Copies of this chain bind each other. A is one copy, B any other.
Amino acid sequence: MNDVSLILAAAAMFMAGCAANGALRGTGDLGLVIERGAGRITLIETSGRSALGTVEGLGDLSHAAAVYSRDGRYAFVFGRDGGLSKVDMLRMSVDKRVLQAGNSIGGAISSDGRVIAVANYEPGGVQLFDAATLERLADIPSTYGDGSRRSKVVGIADAPGNRFVFSLFEAGEIWIADASEPRTPKLERFPAIGREPYDGFVTPGGRYYIAGLFGEDGLVLVDLWNTVGGAKRILGGYGRGEEKLPVYKMPHLRGWAIAGDVAVFPAIGRHEVLMVNTATWTEIARVPVHGQPVFAIAQPGGRRVWVNFAFPKNDVVQVIDLPSRTVVRELRPGKAVLHMEFTPRGEQVWISARDDDLVTVYDTASFAPLARIAALKPSGIFLTSRAASTGF
């Protein structure tokens, strides 16, 4: 082997080294689609509206969710099997993975980006992890009553000041964990907030945590600007009501649309969405819709709210115009529409249709389909722009 061939060999070796480092690109327009049927995610980009590749080996991704590192490079994927996977969006590979519990329902990232919190059903509680290493920093068991039992934890969301807010289903409590010192989180508890809180979310801007109740009508609100005020009941008429209608799928509270001082909530069991004044938390109006609403999501920068529906009417998306309080458009993105994700400035929406193995990208101005991307039983869609938002 002569000198030249040696140099060429070295050249090839190091060029390969460069390639293995992944392509040089911005991360602000990246995202992922959960492929629940494959334990896999498809990485996407919203500038050319294309799929970039897949990452395998993420375990059980039924009802999975994801949050992003503050630099937008890493996704933290919460699997139903308790798996927490850190995915490198640039190298398109699993950077780290831990099995942190038996059954997990979701998680959040602290406002400083240093701590990942995972909410668990089994064993019930919240675990805190270092976002860089996935080292476990703290375990917060959701014990209640005489301390012998643990409650399922639901509706976890991040709040300003490195706080995580979540609800205890069996206990009927809301807890706030301040993770500023993540090895010794400080807990604030709100007991007896109502029967069976089943989900919760933080409003845009990070001021309020709102939990929905499965065991009774009404909602629970905690003002995160002033927690000494405790938990308040709002919208007593919100829920399944006296008739106890069959509910095919409980609405996702996380999607609740808040546009200015109006919030749009999916009614439970009824073919309606509720318009609510967020200054007084009282009902303004109800808008009739196609079926039992699941998500009602405000189009960023827009005057519209997009709504999808529960089985058997889950092949339709309706678009509501807020000022006129009417449905102005109906789309059919495919069978079993599970999720809708807007680009941060609202010009596109990505919609997953599970039973057609299809993700469709729509232009929100013209409603024209801009791209169709194949995915195996797609559910949640998560864009890196979530890294800059509170409450995800």
Contact = CB atoms under 8 A, between A and B. Distances in A.
Nearest to A346: B160
A387 interface: yes
Contact of A206 (B18, B89, B301): B301
Interface in A47-100: 47, 68-74, 89-91
A248 interface: no
A151 to B, nearest CB: 27
A293 to B, nearest CB: 22
Contacts of A303: 207, 225
A13 B162 CA distance: 45
A28 B180 contact: no
A244 interface: no
Nearest to A132: B47
Contacts of A278: 260-261
A160 to B, nearest CB: 4
Interface string A5-18: 01101110111011
Interface stretch (A19-27, A212-220, A231-239, A308-316): A19-27
A25 B73 contact: yes
Given A6-B6, A113-B47, A345-B111, A71 B301 contact: no
Contacts of A279: 261, 279
A141 interface: no
Contacts of A25: 71, 73, 90
Contact of A7 (B10, B301, B389): B10
Contacts of A160: 300-302, 345-347
A352 interface: no
Given A10-B7, A225-B323, A28 B73 contact: yes
Interface string A256-297: 000111000000000000000011000000000000000000
A301 B26 contact: no
Contacts of A24: 21-22, 24, 90-91
Interface of A: 3, 6-7, 9-11, 13-15, 17-18, 21-22, 24-30, 45-47, 68-74, 89-91, 111-113, 159-162, 180, 205-207, 225-226, 259-261, 278-279, 300-303, 323, 343-347, 365, 384-385, 387-390
Given A3-B6, A6-B10, 15 more contacts: A3-B3, A10-B10, A10-B11, A10-B14, A14-B15, A14-B17, A24-B91, A26-B89, A26-B384, A27-B72, A47-B70, A111-B301, A112-B345, A160-B301, A160-B345
7 contacts: A24-B90, A26-B27, A26-B72, A26-B73, A28-B70, A29-B72, A260-B278
